Amino acid sequence: MKRWSNAFLHYVAVIAEFKRYDITAALLDFHARIVKLDDTYEWEPVVNLALQFHRQRCLAGINDHDAWQLPANLIYEHLNNALKPSRSGAQAPKPASNTNAKQNTRDQICNNWNGPGCTYGDKCHRQHVCIICKGLHTIAEHKAVAKK
């Protein structure tokens, strides 16, 4: 999942740099939805859904902001039988400590902060920086800051 996520965020940065399409927020929302689906479903069907949907959007034209919403029927079609096993029957292994889990996210950029807004605020363990240049501004503010 991490490899796809990083690659997709680089793709979003490239699209944002071209300044031809105003779909950065839609792409970040799509990314967040795919990452969220990975919480519940096996990764292989989730990434297949993401790749197929992205291919369809590219063929139809990527510039329609609203068209980046994943339709429920497409999610059902791809993920109907792909639920991750329930952890209620057996104890899932716990991370060595919460510190390790936090360190793993410290090197990641907060997509919510760059998109609709991070609800965790100071408690967020991800970096609140631009996904293009890692400056102290959102991707939406990047163009204005870059001109200065």
> What value, to the nearest 5°, has the Cα angle with vertex 78 and ends 76 and 82?
90
Q: Where are the domains of the chain?
A: 1-83, 97-148
Question: Facing residues of 127 across strands?
Answer: 109
Which pLDDT does position 28 carry in this prediction? 92
CB contact at 8 A, 114 and 105:
no
pTM of the model: 0.58
pLDDT of residue 31: 94
pLDDT at res. 48? 94
Q: What pLDDT was estimated at residue 87?
A: 58
Position 102 scores a pLDDT of: 44
Q: What is the pLDDT of residues 31-63, one digit of tens each?
A: 999 999 998 899 999 999 999 999 998 888 888
H helix intervals, 41-66: 43-60
Q: Rounded to whole angstroms, how far apart are CA atoms 104 and 110? A: 13
- Pairwise CA distance, residues 103 & 30, whole Å: 25
Tell me which DSSP letter residue 41 carries: B
Low-confidence ranges of the chain (pLDDT < 70): 86-106, 147-148
Residues 116, 112, 44, 12, CA torsion sign = positive
